[in-house]
């Protein structure tokens, strides 16, 4: 499978999501989309990142931009995460790593001295026509949501 590239259209995708939804890229045609990948629901960094996007959601909406969070967690785990922290955007479950593969976010990581394959914290901005415009890989959480908002406003 080929992966996405800045300046190129993002291939169609569809995944199960929170609130008994199935979400497709096509659902966001005409709006910008922030797609952020995180390693695991309810862990400290992932919680902070979600809260930062949540707290800026109205500003993203004002910039004609929707937010979607993605991890390999089950829909149930995603729903619990969303409900616990009152996230005001959907979370997608990519258990089979289809979207993770398309965006090439599965990387070798060190966990307690063991090599494991996991999600590298990454964020992508897709424009209203479905073209990838920005990407951040190996994201550090602090200040990231604001940097993404600034990039969206510059589109």
Whose tokens are 């008994």? That residue is 20
Instruction: Name the β-bridge partners of 123.
Output: 36, 136
Residues 6+ apart with CB under 8 A from 89: 53, 54, 57, 66, 67, 68, 69
Interacting residues of 39 by C-beta distance below 8 A, sequence separation 6+: 45, 46, 71, 118, 119, 120, 121
- Give catalytic residue positions: 46
Q: Are 103 and 123 in contact (CB under 8 A)?
A: no
- Under 8 Å between Cβ of 16 and 92: yes
Q: How many CB atoms lie within 10 A of CB 148?
A: 24
């Amino acid at each position: 499978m080929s992966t996405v590239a800045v300046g190129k259209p993002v291939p169609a995708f569809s995944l199960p999501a929170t609130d008994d939804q199935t979400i497709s890229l096509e659902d966001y045609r005409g709006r910008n989309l922030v797609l952020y990948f995180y390693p695991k629901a309810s862990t400290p960094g992932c919680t902070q990142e979600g809260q930062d996007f949540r707290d800026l959601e109205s500003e993203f909406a004002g910039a004609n931009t929707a937010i979607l969070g993605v991890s390999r967690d089950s829909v149930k785990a995603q729903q619990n995460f969303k409900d616990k922290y009152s996230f005001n955007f959907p979370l997608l479950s990519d258990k089979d790593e289809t979207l993770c593969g398309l965006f090439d976010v599965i990387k070798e990581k060190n966990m307690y001295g063991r090599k494991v394959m996991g999600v590298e914290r990454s964020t992508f901005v897709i424009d209203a026509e479905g073209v990838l415009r920005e990407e951040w890989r190996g994201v550090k959480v602090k200040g990231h949501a604001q940097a993404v908002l600034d990039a969206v406003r510059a589109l």
